[in-house]
Every structure is written in structure tokens, then in C-alpha cells.
Amino acid sequence: MTTGAGGNVITGGTHGTVVQAGHIEHLVVRQAPPPADEVTVAPPFGRRGAPLRGRDALLALLLGASGTHVLYGLGGVGKTSLALEVAGSFAAQGAPVWWVAAQDGGRLAGGMRAVARRLGLGEEELASGQTADLLWERLARLPGRWLLVLDNADDLGLLDGPGSLAAGTGWVRTAPGSGGLVLVTTRDGDLGAWGAGPVLHPLGVLPGDQGGRVLVDRATAGAGPSADAELLAVRLGGLPLALDSAGRYLASVVERPAFLRAPGEPATYAAYLAALGAGDVTVDGDGTLARIWAMSLRLLRDRGHGHAETLLRLLAGFADAPVPLRVFAAGRVDIPPGELWSCLQALDRLGLAALGTDGEPVVSLHPLVRDAYRGERERLSARLVGELGDPEDRDPLWPLLVPHLLDDLGRDVPERAWKAAVSAVHVLDVLGLVREAAAAGRAVRDRAVAALTEHHPLARMARMGHARGLLVEGRVEEALPLLEALTRECVRAEGADDALTLMVRNEYANALQMAQDYERAAVENAEVLALRVGLFGEAHAMTLATRHNLAVTLSMLGRYEEALAELDAVHTAELGLYGPDDPRVLVTRENRACIRRDLGDPEAARPELEAVLAARVRVLDADHPQTLAARFNLATCLDPAAAVPELTAVLDARTRVLGPGHPVTAATRATLEHMARTLPR
């Protein structure tokens, strides 16, 4: 303890002179490096543990490299572990190795001075103010192989030293013509800050198989099969530090006798994964990861990215899936667009998030960062739904939003989030994902009923989505009574002309038609059509959809001329609304062609169905249920010899896409058998 002239007390180690002044006009304080005899530049080989996994190619490259190389990535991703592996190989070959801790200015300057002393610089040279220049002159002349590691150099401003890192005059430079290797570990991969000299290597997280091997290395054989370890590694985001923590946790549990384990304490990879999902365990019991995130955020703030934490919290409010950047468009968040983009780039460089494309620009948050930041419950994605319109319009953003719209529904979720979740079920149906749509419909219905009670208006909407999913699966017998009861309930509670009531009645009419109760389906469709014309007008999308349904029902009743007239009018209106390649227009064209086939003119139907099929392959995909429907209908216009192989291919595809027990698959099988019986023997 040192006492100044005015009675102030300074505690801790002091070096040099302590000065107290009565008035200070301008004061510059620099952190003095520790004395040379208190700085070590020996590699911390004691920190080497289990085998290094997933870095073989980069390790081989570095062992044969010279010049300056930078390992950058997320804290905990294993940069120091890889540097230690390189250092161990150099040391084993007798090459000199120096390890400088670069997390603060004092240790960095002290370490570089210690390396300079090892290279023969005297105290007078060190006191000349030219340490960096003299050090790099010595390194450039040093014969043979050598390794200099600067570890944890996250603040690139410190690496400027007496000059400029980017200009090649700072503490880190390249020794031209030398066989030495300079290896720097950092979170910051900003190309502009590093300049042209160093070679930068992004260090990513480990894939599932390599992450699983890390878990197996740390845990014991009793923790479960390697396949379970891989699943846990994926959930942990492939972050080596998290994998190490989870593996050591499991090892500590498994090695204990069973009677010394707490009830429910996970002892296997599968049990740990389940407990992690339920929030019963954490990979950050000692707060190491929290400190890593805090250090990264502090670095971002120091770089002027003041909105970084706000953005992280917003991203953490989404599901564990790529987030389309369109949800952050100007006006949707309180972050200026330019700053938002620079924040996203900075998060990407530090490994906290990853920018990419999935048909649209997207960003993916590291799953453990999501765990650390519990985001806003009101989803920005749900706000966007109102702007996207009908899922039938097929905005490319819809598929990207689906996992976010279905995520984390509960009591405190706003009304628009429930509506968005029901829209997500519809999107899956539009995409032709039959099983996924049905499963999502059940899940949304269950959550809505549990959170809101069965008769809440939003729960009624979710119940309708569930019934639609049943129809998509072909489970008409289950859907029909649900929709009949829901129709009565909506008419009583909402009114006969309410928008939700009409949506439910529209689904009910579809169910009646699928159940081949065409008379009742026609009555229901006609009543809904009259109400929708009154509410929306003749040319509204919902009006046209109901008019189309009524026309199909009329055709099922054998009233072909009426049906064709209705479909012709719908087709003309839809072309004006959507354009020729819209799937709704294609459905209308297909049904017109099928009526002509049923009227006994397959030759007139064939070119129309061929055009519909070509458009669907182009707009949808070859296995979409609507594409398969066009193939089926076209096959029924062919002679049996040509139809049988085509129907066989359609049956195989429908069995794969819809399942062998789906009614549409069964109908295809029956048609194929009938056609096969007509072939000449």
C-alpha cells in the first residue's frame, strides 16, 4: 500500500513513481507492463487435454506454413486449443516457441519485450523506443523454423503498438523471407483492420459427427451411443467449449455411484439433451459462456456498435432457424438500417451469428447465444404476416417464417401471433408438405386450447387449422364432425356473415365434397358464395375461391355445362388478379380440362393438362401434390398402354409423398388396376 502526499491510498502492486498534484490540466495514463521477470512467454501446455477434433486440414496447413496467420471466430470455438496443438508440434521438433498473452496492453507489451530479450536485445535497445522494429528485424534474420503466438488478441487497437497493424508497422507483422510462423488468435476477423499481410482463417463450430467425438472424449462409455452424442452436439451448436462442459458434466455424473446421484440427474447424452430442452440443466454452470458473450459485446460496443445487444435480444426471440432479414426492414425495429447492417456484419465476424442466403438474405443466431438472450415474446415475424397477405400468393418469405410463426405459443402471445401460426399451417399445405401441415395444425390447436380455452375466437381459428390439416391428410371422417360442430359454434358466436365463420364453412363444404356428399356441399358453397359476394364483391380472392369450389361440386353432380360456365368466369377473373402461372389459375385450368374429359373429349383435355403439368413442374416441383394431380389427370386421358406406366409412377410418388393409406393414393391405385385390366392380354 502506498500513501500519496494528500493522504490518498493506492493499493496493489505499484511500479515506478506515484505522483500527486493539486491541479492537473491534462493527464495521460498508460498501463505499464509488468516487470520483465514477471512475464512468461512459455506456451501453456498444461491446458492441452483431450484430442483436438475437426481441425485436421487447418492444422496440417499451419504446420507447413510461414508468415502471419490469424485464427478468428466465436469465443470458445477452440482457437487457443488449435494454437496449442501447433505450438506442441513446433516444440517437439526443437523449434523455438514464444507465447504472448495479448488480451491487454500490459501483457502484450511485456510479452513482446520478453521475446525481444530472448532474441538478444539489450536494455538500452529496449529503452530506445524502437522495440517493435528491432524485434521484427531479429525475427526476420532468425534461421530455421520458429513460432510466435499472440493469444486472445481481441482488441486490435492494442496490436497497433507504436505504429499501425493494417500498415504492417504494429506489434504484429510479417517477417519476409523467414521460415517462422506468427499465429494470432482473435475474435475479430475484420479484413480492413488486419491489412494485406496476414492470412485470415475463420474457425467455425464443429459439425455433428466431430462434436459428438468431443463429447465422447470427455464423457465415458456409459453416457450412451455416439449417435446420441451427435444429436447433443448439434443442440450445443458445435461450440467446443460447450461440448467440453457438457462432456465433463456427464463424466462427473457417470463416475458417481447411482445412489449418490440426485433424482432425475441426467447421466446420458439423451437425458442431458432432454434436460437441456426443459431448462433443467445448463452448459454454463460456472458462467464461462456468459463471460464470453459479455466480452464479445464489450468489444462490439468499443467498435461503436451500440445496438448489438438489442439486436441479439431480438434475434433470440425467434426460433432456432434462419431469420429472414426482411423482418428487420426499415420501420420495423428501432435501429437505423445502416447501423443494423453493420451490427449484423460484426456479429457474423465474431461468430455470434451467421449471415447467409436461403432464397432470401437470412441470419442465424448461434443456439447457445439464443439460450443466453431470452428475446421479446412478441415475434417480429408475426408483425410481418399482415404485410405478406395470403399464403397462396407464395411470397418466398413465407417458408422461411414458418418455424418462427410456430415457435413458443403461450398465454402472453398477442392475437396476431396466433393468426400467424394458423397461416403457417396453411403455408405448409400450400408447399405440399402434407404430414408437416397436419402435425402443425394439431400442435397449434393444442396450444391455443390450452392457453386460451376451447371457445376463444383465436382457438376457434386454430381448431379450423387443425381440421384443415386432417383434410390434407385425407382423414375426412375425423374432420367432418369437427367442422360441422365448429360451423354451428361460429354462426352462434360470431354471426353467419363473419369472416371466420365463412372460412370455417368453406372448409366444411370441402369436407362434404371429399366425403362425396355433393348435394350438401353444393348448398353450403352456394350460401357461402352469396355471403362473400355481399361482403367482398364478385372479384375478391375469397369470392373466387368459393365460386371455384361450387363449380367443382356442380361437376360432381353431373351439371357439367353449369360448372364449365362458372370455371370460365373464375379463370378470366383470376388471370387479372394473379397471372397465368399462379397455382390457383392452374387449378382452375386443370378442373376445366377434367370436365371436358368427363364429357367424353379427352383429346381436348390433353393439351390443357400438358400445359398445366409443365407449369407446375416449373412453379412448384415434381413431387408437389398438385403436380402429381396433373400427372394423374393427364394419364387418364391416354390410352391404357401409355396410361399404365404413367399411373404406376404417380402411384409410387403419391405413396412416398402422401403415404400408402391416403385416400388419393388409394384412388390412384384403383385407377391403375382398372386401366391394367383393360390392356389386351
Listing DSSP states for 32-66 in one string gives PPPPGGG---S--GGG--SPP-S-HHHHHHHHT--
Looking at the predicted structure, is the pLDDT value of residue 73 above 60? yes
Domain match, 197 and 50 both:
yes
Whole-number percent of the chain with pLDDT over 90: 53
pLDDT tens readout for residues 183-227: 999 988 888 889 888 999 999 889 999 999 999 998 877 889 999
Looking at the predicted structure, is the pLDDT value of residue 585 above 50? yes
463 inside domain:
no
Q: What is the domain extent for residue 633?
A: 579-681
The predicted model gives 346-372 an average pLDDT of: 84
> Phi then psi for 75, rounded to 5 degrees?
-60, 135
More confident residue, 34 or 587: 587
Looking at the predicted structure, is the pLDDT value of residue 12 above 50? no
Domain match, 48 and 184 both:
yes
162 inside domain:
yes
pLDDT score, position 378: 54
pLDDT score, position 328: 87
Looking at the predicted structure, is the pLDDT value of residue 2 above 50? no
To the nearest whole number, what is the mean pLDDT of the chain?
86
Domain match, 218 and 341 both:
no
655 inside domain:
yes
The predicted model gives 306-318 an average pLDDT of: 87
Domain match, 99 and 131 both:
yes
User: Band of the pLDDT at 375, cuts 50, 70, 90?
Assistant: low
479 inside domain:
no
Q: How far apart are CA 439 and CA 444, in angstroms?
A: 9
pLDDT score, position 295: 77
Q: What are residue 201's DSSP bridge partners? A: 71
Q: How far apart are CA 296 and CA 158, in angstroms?
A: 16
Domain match, 239 and 307 both:
no
> Phi then psi for 310, rounded to 5 degrees?
-60, -45
Least confident of 29-33, 303-307, 429-433, 502-506: 29-33
Q: Which residue has the cell 492537473?
A: 24
461 inside domain:
no
Please state the domain count of the chain: 4
Looking at the predicted structure, is the pLDDT value of residue 437 above 60? yes
Residues 6+ apart with CB under 8 A from 251: 218, 219, 220, 223
pLDDT tens readout for residues 480-529: 999 999 999 999 999 988 989 999 999 999 999 999 999 999 999 999 99
Asked if 448 contacts 459 with a C-beta cutoff of 8 angstroms, the reply is yes
Element (H, E) at 605: helix 602-619
Looking at the predicted structure, is the pLDDT value of residue 30 above 50? no
pLDDT tens readout for residues 249-285: 888 888 888 777 788 788 899 998 888 877 777 776 6
Select from 325, 359, 376 the last residue of a domain. Answer: 376
Domain match, 128 and 184 both:
yes
Domain match, 88 and 124 both:
yes
Which range, 215-224, 286-295, 312-321, 474-483, has the best average confidence (pLDDT)?
474-483
Whole-number percent of the chain with pLDDT over 70: 92
Q: How far apart are CA 314 and CA 298, in angstroms?
A: 18
Q: How far apart are CA 626 and CA 622, in angstroms?
A: 9
pLDDT score, position 414: 77
CATH number of the domain that 650 lies in? 1.25.40.10
pLDDT score, position 286: 67
pLDDT tens readout for residues 122-154: 988 888 889 999 999 999 999 999 999 999 998
Element (H, E) at 324: strand 323-324
Q: How far apart are CA 136 and CA 159, in angstroms?
A: 14
306 inside domain:
yes
> Phi then psi for 434, rounded to 5 degrees?
-60, -55
More confident residue, 351 or 474: 474
Select from 376, 411, 432 the last residue of a domain. Answer: 376
Q: How far apart are CA 238 and CA 133, in angstroms?
A: 41
Radius of gyration of the chain (CA): 34
Q: How far apart are CA 487 and CA 493, in angstroms?
A: 10
498 inside domain:
no
Domain match, 107 and 233 both:
no
Domain match, 156 and 190 both:
yes
CATH number of the domain that 165 lies in? 3.40.50.300
Domain match, 310 and 330 both:
yes
Select from 149, 180, 202 the last residue of a domain. Answer: 202
79 inside domain:
yes
> Phi then psi for 406, rounded to 5 degrees?
-90, -5
Domain match, 317 and 372 both:
yes
**3-state class of 72 per DSSP?**
strand
Domain match, 110 and 232 both:
no
Q: Which three cell numbers stand for residue 43?
A: 506456451
CATH number of the domain that 368 lies in? 1.10.10
Looking at the predicted structure, is the pLDDT value of residue 25 above 50? no
Q: How far apart are CA 459 and CA 673, in angstroms?
A: 44
pLDDT score, position 89: 96
